[in-house]
Amino acid sequence: MASSLIGSRVERKEDKKFLTGKGRYTSDINLANQTYAYFVRSPHARATISKVDISKASNAPGVVKILTGDDLAKDKIGGLIAGWKIVSQDGTDMKCPPHPPLANNTVNFVGDHVAVAIAETLDQAKDAAEKVRVDYKVLKAVVKTGDALNSKAIHDGIDKNLCFDFLLGDKGKTDEAFSKADKVVKLDLVNNRLIPNAMEPRAAIGDYNSSSEELTLYTASQNPHLSRLILSAFNAVHPEHKFRIVAPDVGGGFGSKINAYAEDAVVAWASKKIERPVKWVAERSESFLSDNHGRDHLTHVEVALKNDGKITAIRVDTIANLGAYALVLGTVTPTYLYAPLLLGPYDIPAACCNVKGVYTNTAPTDAYRGAGRPEATFVVERIVTEAAKEIGMDQAEFRKKNFINKFPHQQCLVHNIDSGDYHAHLDKALELSDYKNFENRRSQSSAKGKLRGIGFSTYLEACGVAPSAVVMSIGAGVGLWESAEVRFNATGNISVFTGTHSHGQSHDTTFAQIVGDRLGVPIENIDIVHGDTDKGPFGMGTYGSRSLTVGGVAIVKACDKIIEKGRKVAAKMLEAKPEDVDFKDGEFVVKNSNKKKTIGEVAFACYLPGTFGDIKSPLPEGVEPGLMETSFFDPSNFSFPAGSHICEVEVDQDTGETKVAKYTVVDDFGTVINPLIVEGQVHGGVAQGIGQALYENAHYDESGQLITASYMDYTMPRADNFPEIKLGFTSTPATSNPLGAKGCGEAGTIAAPAAVMNAVIDAIDTDISMPATSEKVCNALQKNKKNKEAA
């Protein structure tokens, strides 16, 4: 039974509650004597505030309290933080403006928090919020990424709106490679701003008990312990030991639920002030305005080439839009999560990357599924595609010519890639996608009056977001290890506590498979517990495809400690030496005998350590009762999933409508625990990547109003936007963790935009930016036609 669990398509343990309407999301929770919060948000992208008049609002029906930035300052509630310090190339630290949860005297994006109305009902809170009078002096907003460096500072003392001027790589060596190049290929690229749009809007409930002085915050978070740490240590909302954060069922995150947001801090603090629960649930329009956004880069990239197709250097200059403030992972996303990945899976000997992080009067950006790696992959896979065209080589052959072939491989920027076989996944993708017959399909499309194009994206990504020693040396404000606690109960079933958090990733099932495999216990008898700071040990949470590669390994290590203690206890019970007792498939067996005890019997003995009636289980000397072990795992390296995406699109020449006609993915995720779940992660990731390439775009007008602030205006990918995605797998297990797992949560989103855009550009023979909407494609085709007629 046991060994078959790894790699098995086990149906999810968590599904039934969601399928029967018994999921429990934050907005489903209602507490006795609860009040409702509604936020007053800035309607202006940039303004100073001379006065916030709450007199009318305070007297509105049902109002319990109106709170403003002044109240917050009086109570010494701290500002929201950037969690990762980036050092500029001149040696100075990044510059961050103050970011109070409720505005002090300036607002810096539409949706910025000004005040909160708390009332007996939600309708009363909304009515009261409308009666809060704010005197704004509207200032000229800086909106566009490309304008920030040339505009007047929006934050006092932050010249050119420059947060950091980051440089990675060897400029001299790179310049030299370019001077010796046979050919240089250049591109200017836009990575469009996206809005994460987890289907569950954010929500938070603060619940303070004035007698016990315990504060509970229910919140839709990917990392409750981390949020508690931030809200305690930086915002000073409440001492950590009296502060409980519960992130119950959470309806998707994609990075947008990493931050401890203004609303979290405010409802928690407000609950203390009024000594009643305070509930806030975002409307979708609030999510659009105030969830962190993602991407938003302008990039110039160049590669140096030899005539035989070998890439000798890459040079990248990027302006990354941080939005109005620097968030928890807002500064690391466009730097260390981005720049090192600009080498792709290629053996490129020289590289240099400059990233300027800039402030604008737009919603702050932070990690969004892939976080930096989709942006990097888009740059490298677009330029590699253009380089192959310039050299006149087949796209697959060009990539193979430049692939890393030997492992481990120390890249010239940061990463030491432990394992991989890039030829294997590309070859498999070529076969699965029927690449050799592509030109036939192109002709068939052409016969229907459609333009068909093909695009490749061979990605490499770095997952795990660890090890602590490395990340802290480059500015991380915390270590990125993970915790686990495995508690054997006396009756033989197991409760496993993980510091990661599942908001769709299927931890209840995957982790149960790992524990079941390790301890030989049926998965029905294993419960995975997460999302409550009062239950398990401190954990860092879920992002960066780290849950399995870091959190899963912590669970394995805790299981191994259980086995080691169990071996001593079993040896005593079996009257053997511990070294003579083997553990396999849930049983402790004395070597060369049929004497054995199940792990359940051993667990029972650990809780009843003595002799009573039929029970004869005195523990060995020096062994403590109970069977519960904790482990904190800090990996030695990142893990490096890689793979090949091949996309074919069909473009309607009359309307510009672009459809994905065929999509093939072959991934190398190392060891796969549950293929059913992993395939689901890839499908979802690819859909988000296709969404970025063809449909999604966060658009601000010149004054800084978000034009795409509802599902009427922001194009979410729908079921009818996709063909069936064909998947394949290869496997080179990771050497940096005992599971051999590499992570799978973000790969689809990382690789897909480049594959789709390479296909679109191949079809229409013109470089256009994302998203390749019908309008944009149609205009490009018209322009092409005119150019050809003129020539």
List of residues contacting another protein (CB under 8 A): 11-12, 14-25, 27-28, 30, 197-201, 249-252, 254, 283-285, 503-506, 676-677, 679-680, 683-688, 710-712, 716, 718-720, 722, 724-725, 748
Q: How far is the CB of 507 from another protein (least distance, A)?
A: 11
Q: How far is the CB of 15 from another protein (least distance, A)?
A: 4
Of all residues in the chain, what percent are helix, strand and coil, respectively (each to 5)? Answer: 35, 25, 40
> Do residues 745 and 552 make contact, with C-beta atoms less than 8 angstroms apart?
no
What is the secondary structure of 687-723 as a DSSP string?
HHHHHHHHT----B-TTS-BS--STTTS----GGG--
Q: Residue 728's beta-bridge partner residues? A: 666
CA atoms within 13 A on the CB side of 710: 2
Q: How far is the CB of 512 from another protein (least distance, A)?
A: 15
Cα(321)–Cα(109) distance, integer angstroms: 13
Q: How far is the CB of 673 from another protein (least distance, A)?
A: 14
Cα(748)–Cα(342) distance, integer angstroms: 17
SS3 312: strand
Q: How far is the CB of 107 from another protein (least distance, A)?
A: 23
DSSP class of 102: S
> Do residues 225 and 498 make contact, with C-beta atoms less than 8 angstroms apart?
no
Sign of CA dihedral 665, 668, 669, 672: positive
Cα(544)–Cα(557) distance, integer angstroms: 21
> Do residues 417 and 347 make contact, with C-beta atoms less than 8 angstroms apart?
no
Q: How far is the CB of 172 from another protein (least distance, A)?
A: 45
Sheet holding 350-359, edge to edge: 162-169, 350-359, 311-323, 297-305, 183-191
User: String of b and e for 589-621 (b: at least 16 CB within 10 Å)?
Assistant: bbeeeebbbbbbbbbbbbebbeeeeeeebebee
Cα(539)–Cα(224) distance, integer angstroms: 8
Q: How far is the CB of 196 from another protein (least distance, A)?
A: 8
Q: How far is the CB of 200 from another protein (least distance, A)?
A: 4
**With respect to another protein, which residue has the nearer C-beta, 248 or 609?**
248
Cα(420)–Cα(426) distance, integer angstroms: 12
Cα(47)–Cα(137) distance, integer angstroms: 5
DSSP class of 769: P
**With respect to another protein, which residue has the nearer C-beta, 16 or 137?**
16
Token code pair at residue 468:
């602590």
Q: How far is the CB of 38 from another protein (least distance, A)?
A: 13
**With respect to another protein, which residue has the nearer C-beta, 164 or 218?**
218
Q: How far is the CB of 61 from another protein (least distance, A)?
A: 14
Using alpha carbons, select from 331, 633, 371 the residue that is nearest to residue 479.
633
Q: How far is the CB of 508 from another protein (least distance, A)?
A: 11
CA atoms within 13 A on the CB side of 367: 25
Cβ-Cβ contacts under 8 Å for 677 (sequence gap 6 or more): 12, 505, 506, 509, 510
**With respect to another protein, which residue has the nearer C-beta, 492 or 728?**
728
Q: How far is the CB of 646 from another protein (least distance, A)?
A: 17
Token code pair at residue 6:
């790894």
User: String of b and e for 660-696 (b: at least 16 CB within 10 Å)?
Assistant: bbbbbbbbbbbbbbbeebbbbbbbbbbbbbbbbbbbb
Q: How far is the CB of 285 from another protein (least distance, A)?
A: 6
**Amino acid identity, position 315:** R
**With respect to another protein, which residue has the nearer C-beta, 474 or 716?**
716
Using alpha carbons, select from 236, 207, 226 the residue that is nearest to residue 75.
236
DSSP H or E segment with residue 596: strand 596-598
Q: How far is the CB of 197 from another protein (least distance, A)?
A: 6
Q: How far is the CB of 748 from another protein (least distance, A)?
A: 8
Q: How far is the CB of 724 from another protein (least distance, A)?
A: 6
Q: Residue 164's beta-bridge partner residues? A: 357
**With respect to another protein, which residue has the nearer C-beta, 282 or 569?**
282
Using alpha carbons, select from 556, 550, 559 the residue that is nearest to residue 634.
550
Using alpha carbons, select from 474, 541, 502, 504 the residue that is nearest to residue 226.
541
DSSP class of 441: H
∠ at Cα 191 (185, 197), nearest 5°?
Answer: 155
Q: How far is the CB of 746 from another protein (least distance, A)?
A: 13
**With respect to another protein, which residue has the nearer C-beta, 712 or 790?**
712
Distances (CA, A) of 491 to 495, 515, 524, 563: 11, 17, 14, 17
What is the secondary structure of 146-179 as a DSSP string?
GGGGGS--SSTT-GGGEEEEEEEE-HHHHHHHHH
